[in-house]
A = this chain, B = another copy of it.
Amino acid sequence: MPEDPVMAYAKAHEERHLAELFDLLRIPSVSAQPAKHGKDIERAAEFLADAMRDAGLENVRLVPTGGNPIVYGDWLHAPGAPTILCYGHYDVQPPEPLELWDSPPFEPTIRDGKIYARGATDDKGQMFTHIKAVQGVLATAGALPVNVKFLIEGEEEVGSENLERFIRANLDLLACDVVAISDSSMFDERHPAITYSLRGLVYYQIDVQGPKRDLHSGTFGGGIKNPIEALVEILDGMKDNKTGKITIPGFYDDVDITPAERKALAKLPFKERAYAKELGVPMVWGEKGWTTLERVSLRPTFEINGIWGGYQGPGAKTVLPAEAHAKVSMRLNPGQDPRKIAKLFERAVKERAHPGVKVTVTNLSGGWGAKAPLEHPAMRAGSRAIKQGFGKEPLFTAEGGSIPVVAMFQQVLGVPSVLLAYGLHDENLHAPNEHFDIGNFHKGIRTNAAFLYALAEEDLTQAKGAKGKARARKAPAKNATKRAAPAREAKAKAPAARGKKARR
A contact residues vs B (CB 8 Å cutoff): 31-33, 93-94, 96-97, 100, 157-159, 185, 199, 201, 203, 210-226, 228-229, 232-233, 235-236, 239, 241, 275-276, 279-287, 292, 295-296, 299, 301, 303-321, 324-327, 329, 331, 354-358, 364-365, 399-402, 425, 428-433
Contacts and interface: CB of A to CB of B under 8 A. Distances in A.
A158 B315 contact: yes
A356 B401 contact: no
A305 B319 contact: yes
A233 B241 contact: yes
B282 A356 contact: yes
A316 B404 CA distance: 14
Contacts of A286: 222-224
Contacts of A215: 279, 430-431
10 contacts: A218-B401, A220-B425, A224-B284, A228-B306, A281-B356, A305-B318, A305-B320, A316-B364, A316-B365, A317-B327
B217 A295 contact: no
Best-buried of A96, A210, A228, A305 by chain B (most CB within 10 Å): A305
A195 to B, nearest CB: 11
Given A218-B399, A221-B331, A356 B285 contact: yes
Contacts of A365: 315-316
A116 B216 CA distance: 16
Nearest to A330: B221
Contacts of A318: 201, 203, 305, 329, 401-402, 430
Given A225-B285, A286-B223, A312 B306 contact: yes
Contacts of A96: 311, 313
B310 A305 contact: yes
Contact of A355 (B224, B228, B283): B283
A294 B299 CA distance: 48
B314 A32 contact: yes
Contacts of A32: 313-317
Given A222-B299, A229-B235, A315-B158, A211 B281 contact: yes
Contact of A222 (B275, B320, B331): B331
A293 to B, nearest CB: 8
Contacts of A283: 224, 355-356
A296 B233 contact: no
Best-buried of A216, A429, A432 by chain B (most CB within 10 Å): A216
Given A355-B283, A356-B281, A430 B317 contact: yes
A310 B235 CA distance: 15
B229 A232 contact: no
A399 B221 CA distance: 11
A320 B313 CA distance: 22
Contact of A225 (B275, B281, B306): B281
Of all A-B residue pairs in the complex, the 10 with the closest CB atoms, nearest first, are A218-B401, A212-B280, A306-B310, A32-B315, A214-B431, A236-B236, A222-B295, A306-B311, A285-B356, A228-B304
B327 A311 contact: yes
Contact of A329 (B33, B295, B316, B433): B316
Contacts of A309: 304, 306-308
Contacts of A304: 226, 228-229, 232, 309-310
A17 B350 CA distance: 53
